[in-house]
Amino acid sequence: MAGTGARVEIDGLAVGYGSSLVIEGLDLDIKAGSFVALLGASGCGKTTLLKALSGLLPVASGSIRIGEIDVTHAPPERRPSTMVFQSYALWPHMSVAANIGYGLKLRHLSRPAIAARVSEILSLLGLDGFGDRRPTALSGGQRQRVALGRALAIDPPLLLLDEPLSNLDASVRQTMRAEIRALQERLGLTTVLVTHDQEEAMIMADRILVMDRGRILRDGTPEEVWRRPMSAFVARFLGADNGIAADFASLDGATELTLIDGSRVLLPGPAPFVGVGEIRFRSAAVGFGGSGRDGLSLAGRIVSALYPGGRHRYVVETAVGSFTVEEGRRASLGEAVVLSVPADELHLFPADPQAASARMAPGGRLSPARSPAADCLA
């Protein structure tokens, strides 16, 4: 069973609720057969965009094309797409087979054709023998497979996934991520997933769009987005929770950073900008002791220690702020440590103009009056 994905073209899209626009002037081109994740916090516009694609939300202006069809103002049932909802939305009084075949029945296929297609879908999803059961007799993972099967039964060129795994246990969620990705690749469907879970987006998608306030802030492959977030907002959202305020300058082809306590750090390569900025890095990038590479070193003391499993999680207080560290070795509260972050794990960004002006002292240097934790870790 091989499907054919459709290209999706969005031009100048404006959509919202009532007179309040959530998305305005958005352009997006999705390649046929690709798996795209819309990633962002609640209220960023990702679900609004998905609803506009599905026809569940009217478009104020702009256009949407799926394949060769302009679906801008078409109702959901007239679009070459189908959606899998977060709540599964299965009919509890119908059997698994009837749920999967529901869309085919609405398309007036014959009973033998529906039965053959449902049997094919049940086999594809590993649900052979479950056709006569009711959804209430299934596990969460099985119900999610039925919801996915109902969507796949109509052979959609565009598959829309609205946080379909958020109600599942962690272990089942991991299994379903792999299964959905494998099915998408096998069937060649163009797929758009909405999620707030960065790990889910990284594992399942081949392209990630990070959204905020109705805008796409970063667009790239999972590795590109992870390694080069391109903005402080995206870096924070993708786990670079540790931040330090700094004054950036160029010095003999290197980047000179003056931290809020007056200490200086030299990083290889020319400064990406000059002036007030911030350094961001992930807790997993930090080690205790020297890294053997040019980077950032900070002396501090452990003020919190947790063990969530696998690695220890510490909060280390330094002269320039408190930072979260994930380390393999066991350490003690109050222990003095040196934090080391390799240069290639540091993300450097200019500061927000308003935040930067609040930190500037007379003479244009950083003011030590405010903690960088207050400015950068909020």
Split into its structural domains, the chain has a count of 2
- Among 194, 215, 232, where does a domain finish? 232
- Among 167, 202, 232, where does a domain finish? 232
- Among 214, 232, 250, where does a domain finish? 232
Predicted local distance difference test score (pLDDT) of residue 75:
94
User: Which pair of structure tokens corresponds to residue 203?
Assistant: 């594992």
User: Which pair of structure tokens corresponds to residue 252?
Assistant: 């003999």
CA distance 122 to 280: 47
Same domain assignment for residues 244 and 357: yes
Listing from the earlier edge strand, what are the strands of the sheet with 254-259?
A: 264-267, 254-259, 242-251, 275-281, 347-350
Same domain assignment for residues 259 and 347: yes
**Higher per-residue pLDDT: 271 or 366:** 271
Answer whether residue 365 shows pLDDT above 90: no
Same domain assignment for residues 129 and 260: no
Same domain assignment for residues 223 and 311: no
> What letter represents residue 115's amino acid?
A
Please tell me the pTM assigned to this model: 0.84
Same domain assignment for residues 347 and 201: no
Same domain assignment for residues 118 and 222: yes
Q: Is residue 251 part of a domain?
A: yes
Domain that holds residue 218: 8-232
Q: Check which CATH number belongs to the domain holding 208 and give it.
A: 3.40.50.300
Q: Is residue 204 part of a domain?
A: yes
Same domain assignment for residues 195 and 277: no
Same domain assignment for residues 75 and 100: yes
Same domain assignment for residues 289 and 353: yes
Answer whether residue 335 shows pLDDT above 50: yes
User: Which pair of structure tokens corresponds to residue 40?
Assistant: 């962002």
99-119 pLDDT, tens per residue?
999 989 988 899 999 999 999
Same domain assignment for residues 194 and 270: no
Spatial CB neighbours of 246, under 8 Å, sequence gap ≥ 6: 257, 258, 259, 260, 265, 276, 277, 278, 279, 366
Element containing residue 28 per DSSP (H, E): strand 20-30
Q: Is residue 191 part of a domain?
A: yes
Mean pLDDT for the stretch of residues 48-76: 96
* Among 94-98, 181-185, 284-288, 371-375, the least confident range: 371-375
Answer whether residue 308 shows pLDDT above 80: yes
Answer whether residue 35 shows pLDDT above 90: yes
Same domain assignment for residues 51 and 78: yes
Answer whether residue 373 shows pLDDT above 90: no
Predicted local distance difference test score (pLDDT) of residue 290:
66
* Among 225-229, 304-308, 328-332, 368-372, the least confident range: 368-372
Same domain assignment for residues 213 and 299: no
Q: Is residue 1 part of a domain?
A: no
Q: What share of the chain is helix, strand, coil (3-state, %, to 5)?
A: 30, 35, 35
Predicted local distance difference test score (pLDDT) of residue 3:
54
